Amino acid sequence: MKTYKGLLLTAASVFLFSCSEDFLEEVPRGSLISAEELGEVGKVNSEIGNATVGGIYTTFYTSGSGGTTRHSDFGVKSNDMNMDMLSGDMVLGAKRYGWWSWNSELTVGENFTSTENYIGWRFLYRVVNLANLVVDGQGGDDVVPETDAAKALMGQAKAARAWAYFNLVHLYVDDIHQRDQLVLPIYTSSTENVAKSSLGEIYNLMEKDLTEAISLLANFQRSAKFEINADVAKGVLAYVYAAQNKWQEVKSTTEDIVLSGTYPIMSSSEILAGFHAVDNHSGIMWGTDITTDNGMNLLSFWGHIDYYSYSYAGVGDPKNINAELYNAMDETDVRRNQFGPTIFTAGPYAPIRKFYREGAAPDFARFGGPSSGFTSDLHYMRVAEFWLLHAESAAEIGDLATARTSLKKLLDLRVEDSSYVDGLSQAALSEEIYLQTRIELWGEGKSYLALKRRKGTVVLPSNHLDFPGRQIPHNSDLITLEIPEAEILYNPLINEQN
């Protein structure tokens, strides 16, 4: 594997990448300046650094950011869908076109030659390398920039790098609790091949990056929600702590977010509004406002999830909620209304009122939307996650009063009566928080994280197309991606799977 040492001068042009299979050979070298030149030019023109950070954010939603032309390759949300399916909480309603069938058939985790293993790896290490360009351009990891503008660039880059490693750990490491195992290569600069580092070393890097990012972003006022600010960095750090079961640190970090009052939980009407307008919901902390200029088409989250567009979901491959998870909702739970039947699936399991395109309401006409030019937004993080994480951490350390209060803060907006929470034992309360996490954040890529940090077992639902009722432990190869074939071939320092 090689890493690139340059930068295109605009964020969009980051995607004029080479067809080379050298994993981190990102873009044609003829269009580049070096990391060293970036540092020199950046002293005069801060737009250079801004363009590179912009390239990170463009990578998050652009089809092909995982290095392929496959219709399952579209950045953050393809990552989220992958994790939801691996968790068993999202299942295919049919396999007419075949996309995501590898997850339903449990084949990708045992076949390192599968392209799906390559997509996640390539996308996440692309983010790492773009972040490293910014860090190198500022003088390297140990430099503390002097101006607020430079601090903002460095902070966003370090937070993005940590976010990428966090996702790599969850997707490519069977057991995220064995700190001594050698698992993934660490790149903190534009260097050549490196061998695997231990899981503990990667966790340490993530914590360092995020702690520094929070400080660097203290005075940063972002222009839009697609940018990482200090609160988003705190959110990622809370997840990093949770993955290690550092519950006291999770509790204090999530308190900084939820008690600030900056981000109210989405109301019962907001969670039925389609999740397609990030600026309309203050409870959405991080996401991208998509416009027609972004050229989004079927190769996108909306192309796979929206029943009302001329999309995969509408034409024949709906992505459904786990039937048992749906049935576990209280009868008064407003979130039951996020789901309903389609002609392609038996039962009320398709997310026809959770995820739908901008403009679908009020008619909700099948095929009423386009197959290209989507303008529906993409959200990556919302405050409800941290009320739930706060409750989870409090329950784990025995602070049951706080755990109940934080859980009810969410439930009071979802069900008619949350008083049942008051009588739950510590173990039962912990399980209830896990259940509510799966329900509230369905389709948002978070159930898989909870499964792994809690060392849970997947029970595939009765509406699973291939293996209904099958039980799979959190550390099984069946639900963990493999280091892809190209990495094994092109990096001589890595020659075995995790």
- Among candidate residues 361, 376, 391, the one where a domain is terminated: 376
Query: What does the H/E/C string look like for the chain?
Result: CCECCEECCCCHHHHCCCCCCCCECCCCHHHCEEHHHHHHHHHHCHHHHHHHHHHHHHHHHCCCCCCCCCCCCCCHHHHHHHHHHHHCCEEECCCCCCCCHHHHCCCHHHCCCCHHHHHHHHHHHHHHHHHHHHHHHCCCCCCCCCCHHHHHHHHHHHHHHHHHHHHHHHHHCCCCCCCCCEEEECCCCCCCCCCEEEHHHHHHHHHHHHHHHHHHCCCCCCCCCCCCCHHHHHHHHHHHHHHCCCHHHHHHHHHHHHCCCCCCCCCCCHHHCCCCCHHHCCCEEEEECCCHHHCEECCCHHHHHCCCCCCHHHHCCCEEECHHHHHCCCCCCHHHHHCEEECCEEEEEECCCCCCCCCCCCCCCCCCCCCEEECCCEEEEECHHHHHHHHHHHHHCCCHHHHHHHHHHHHCCCCCCCHHHHHCCHHHHHHHHHHHHHHHCCCCCCHHHHHHHCCCEEECCCCCCCCCCCEEECCCHHHCCCCCHHHHHHCCCCCCCC
Better-scored residue on pLDDT, 291 or 34: 291
Q: At residue 291, does pLDDT exceed 50?
A: yes
Asked whether the beta carbons of 111 and 481 are under 8 A apart, the reply is no
Q: Read off the pLDDT band of 44 (50, 70, 90).
A: very low
Least confident of 9-13, 51-55, 79-83, 458-462: 9-13
Task: Give residue 495's pLDDT.
Answer: 86
Work out the percent of the chain whose per-residue pLDDT is above 70: 90
pLDDT reported for residue 311: 86
Whether 311 and 175 map to the same domain: the answer is no
**CATH number of domain containing 57:** 1.25.40.390
Q: Which of 327, 349, 376 is the last residue of a domain?
A: 376
The pLDDT value recorded for residue 27 is 34
**pLDDT one-digit tens code per residue, 405-438:** 999 999 999 999 999 999 999 999 999 999 999 9
pLDDT at 465: 95
Residue 46's pLDDT is 56
Residue corresponding to tokens 């509408």: 314
Residue 13 has pLDDT above 50, yes or no: no
Write out pLDDT tens, residues 60-85.
999 999 999 999 999 999 999 999 99
pTM, to two decimals: 0.91
- pLDDT score recorded for residue 103: 92
Residue 83's Cα: distance from chain center in Å? 8
Same domain assignment for residues 63 and 193: yes
* Predicted local distance difference test score (pLDDT) of residue 48: 63
Structure tokens at 150: 């430079």
As given in the structure block, the two tokens for residue 103 are 């997850």
Domain boundary at 376, 396, 416, which? 376
Inside any domain, residue 365: yes
Q: What is the mean pLDDT of residues 320-345?
A: 95
Distance CA(34)–CA(178), nearest Å, equals 38
Bridge pairing between strands 319-321 and 6-7: unpaired
Whole-angstrom Cα distance, residue 80 to residue 381? 11
Please tell me which residue, 330 or 112, carries the higher pLDDT value: 330
Note the pLDDT tens digit of each residue in 392-407.
Answer: 999 999 999 999 999 9
pLDDT at 244: 98
Q: Are residues 312 and 171 in the same domain?
A: no
In a domain, 346, yes or no: yes
- pLDDT number for residue 325: 98
The reply to whether 457 falls in a domain is no
Is residue 97 situated within a structural domain?
yes
Q: What local confidence, expressed as pLDDT, does residue 8 receive?
A: 27
Res. 32 pLDDT band, cuts 50 70 90: very low
Mean pLDDT of 249-263: 96
User: How far is it, in rounded angstroms, from Cα 225 to Cα 229?
Assistant: 9
Interatomic CA distance for residues 120 and 332, integer angstroms: 38
State the residue range of the domain holding 110: 1-220+467-491
pLDDT for 21 beyond 90: no
- pLDDT, mean of residues 187-205: 92
Say yes or no: 213 and 295 in one domain.
no
Half-sphere exposure of 269 (CA within 13 A, CB side): 1
Does some domain include residue 89?
A: yes
Q: Looking at residues 92-103, what average pLDDT do you find?
A: 92
Residue 228 lies in a domain: no
Location of structure tokens 């990428």: 164
How many folded domains does the chain comprise?
Answer: 2
Q: Tell whether the model's pLDDT for residue 474 goes beyond 80.
A: yes
pLDDT tens string 135-175: 998 999 999 999 999 999 999 999 999 999 999 999 999 99
Residue 413 included in any domain: no
